[in-house]
Amino acid sequence: MPSIWTSLASLALIPALFLVATRILSFKTRWDPCLKHCFVTGGSSGAGLALATLLAQNGAHVSIVARDKAKLQKALEVLETVRHNPQQIFRAYSFAVNTEQGSVAAIGAASEPFDGHCPDAYFLCAGASRPGFFVEQTEESLKAGMESTYYAQAFSALAATKAMVQQGVKGKVVFCSSILGYFSMVGYSTYSPGKFALRGLAETLQSEFMLYGIDVHIAFPGTIYSPGYEEENRCKPKITLKIEETDDGAQPEVVAKVILDGVRSGKFHISVDFIGHVFRTSTAGSSERNSYLLDWVHAVVGYIGLPTWRKMWVDNLVVKHRDEHEGYLRERGLCSVE
C-alpha cells in the first residue's frame, strides 16, 4: 500500500524527468571567456574588480567602466598582472553608466579597439547601499536608492541589448542583485526595492531574449567585504546591524569566482552560499531552475528554517527594539505622541 508521500514523490518525478530530458536535448557547453570581450561596470573596486581580474585570468579581453579615473588606473594595473596571453586587450573607461547616454557612450568607446564590434558579455556590477529608517527618507533619498541599485544596471542593459541585437551578437547580460532581492527587513527601504526590481527586469529579459539568443544571468550575493560594505555600515541602523551580527560575509574574490562559475555553467539565478541557495529555491516560482531535483532539498530546509529564523530572530529583535526606537524618534522630532 503506497503511502501518499510515495505517490507525491512519484508525481514530482514526471516534471523532473521532463526537464532533464529537455536539458539533455539542449545541453549547453560550458561558456569560455577566453578571447571574449567582457564589459564590466563597477569594475574598479569590490566584486566588479574581482570579476574583471578573474576574467582576465581566464584569457578574456576586459573593459572596465567606472567613474573615478584614479581607481580605474589602479584597476588596470591589477589586470595587467594577471595577463594570460599577449592578445588580450585591457581597457578602462571613465563614464557614468546610470543614464542610457552614458552607457551607450561607454559601450561605443569599448567597441573601438574591436572595429566597432560590441562586447560579448556585460557584467553589471555597479551599485551602492545607503540603509536607514524609512521615516527618515525623503523622495530624494528613495530616488537616489533606486538610481544606485536599479538604474545603475538597467540602462547599461538597455544599451548593451540594443547594440547586441543591432549587430546580431549572441552575448550575455549578467546582473548583480543581492540576497536583499529575495527578502527584506528593517533598514533597507532604499536598497531592496531596486534589488527586487533588478530581478523583475532579469526575469523579463530571460524570457524576451530567447528571441535573440542572448543569455541572462543574475547574481544574489550576501555581504561582500568590500569598500562599499564599510560605507554601508556607517549609516546602517543599529537594529539592522544587530540582526546581521551572525552573518558571514565573503571576500570579493570568492563571490566573483562563484558568479563566473555560475555564468560558465549557464545558471540563470546565481546564489553564492548555502543561505543564498535556500532563498533562491524558496522564492523561485516559475524562474528557470538550475537543478530541479536538488532545489527540492534546499526548499524543504527553507520551508522549515526560514519562518523560524524570521520569527524568532529578525521579528523578535525588531519588536524588542521598539522602546529604544521611540526615544530615537522623539529626539529627532519624528513622533509627537506622549
Partner 1 sequence: MPDAWVSVSLTSLALLAGLVLLAASVNMFGLSKRWDPSLKHCFVTGGSSGAGLALAKLLAQNGAHVSIVARDQAKLNKALEELEAARQNPQQVFRAYSFSVNTEAGSAAAIEAASEPFDGRCPDAFFLCAGASRPGFFVEQTEESLRTGMEQTYYAQAFTALAASKTMVQQGVKGKIVFCSSILGYFSMVGYSTYSPGKFAIRGLAETLQSEFMLYGIDVHVAFPGTIYSPGYSEENRVKPKVTLKIEETDEGATPEVVAKIILDGVRSGKFHITVDFIGNVFRSSTAGSTERNSYALDWVHGLIGYIALPIWRNSVDSTVLKHREEHEAYLRERGLRS
Q: Segment contacting partner 1 (CB under 8 A): 29-37, 183-191, 244-252, 258-266?
A: 183-191
297 makes contact with partner 1 (CB under 8 A): no
Of 35 and 158, which has the nearer Cβ to partner 1?
Answer: 158
Candidate residues 29, 85, 138, 246; the one interacting with partner 1 per rule CB under 8 A: 138
95 makes contact with partner 1 (CB under 8 A): no
Is 195 noted as a catalytic residue in this protein? yes
Binders of partner 1 among 34-73, rule CB under 8 A?
A: none
Residue 240's region, left for phi above 0, alpha for psi from -120 to 50, else beta, is alpha
218 makes contact with partner 1 (CB under 8 A): no
4 burial via Cβ count (<10 Å: 0-12, 13-18, 19+) = exposed
Could you count the other beta carbons within 10 Å of the beta carbon of residue 131?
21
Active-site choice (71, 195, 236, 267)? 195
Of 100 and 273, which has the nearer Cβ to partner 1?
Answer: 100
Are the CB atoms for 188 and 213 separated by under 8 Å? no
Candidate residues 10, 87, 167, 251; the one interacting with partner 1 per rule CB under 8 A: 167
Residue 288's region, left for phi above 0, alpha for psi from -120 to 50, else beta, is beta
Q: Going edge to edge, which strands form the sheet with 269-271? A: 90-94, 61-66, 37-41, 121-124, 172-176, 215-220, 269-271
The Cα 40–Cα 85 span in angstroms is 20
Candidate residues 17, 80, 200, 294; the one interacting with partner 1 per rule CB under 8 A: 200
Of 89 and 293, which has the nearer Cβ to partner 1?
Answer: 293
Q: Segment contacting partner 1 (CB under 8 A): 34-42, 77-85, 157-165, 224-232?
A: 157-165
Nearest to 35 by CA among 85, 105, 77, 96: 85
Of 93 and 151, which has the nearer Cβ to partner 1?
Answer: 151
25 makes contact with partner 1 (CB under 8 A): no
The Cα 192–Cα 132 span in angstroms is 12
Measured in whole angstroms, the distance separating CA 328 from the mean position of its chain's CA atoms is 33
Binders of partner 1 among 270-289, rule CB under 8 A?
A: 279, 282-289
Are the CB atoms for 31 and 208 separated by under 8 Å? no
Binders of partner 1 among 306-325, rule CB under 8 A?
A: 306-311, 314-315, 318-319, 321-322, 325
Candidate residues 114, 183, 225, 229; the one interacting with partner 1 per rule CB under 8 A: 183
Of 89 and 135, which has the nearer Cβ to partner 1?
Answer: 135
Burial 166-205 (b: 16+ CB within 10 A, else e): eeebebbbbbbbbbbbbebbbbbbbbbbbbbbbbebbbeb
Question: Binders of partner 1: how many residues, by CB under 8 A?
Answer: 96
Supply the DSSP symbol for 89: -
Is the CA virtual torsion 150, 124, 235, 318 positive or negative?
A: positive
184 makes contact with partner 1 (CB under 8 A): yes
Candidate residues 8, 20, 235, 294; the one interacting with partner 1 per rule CB under 8 A: 8
142 makes contact with partner 1 (CB under 8 A): yes
Tell me the catalytic residues. 191, 195
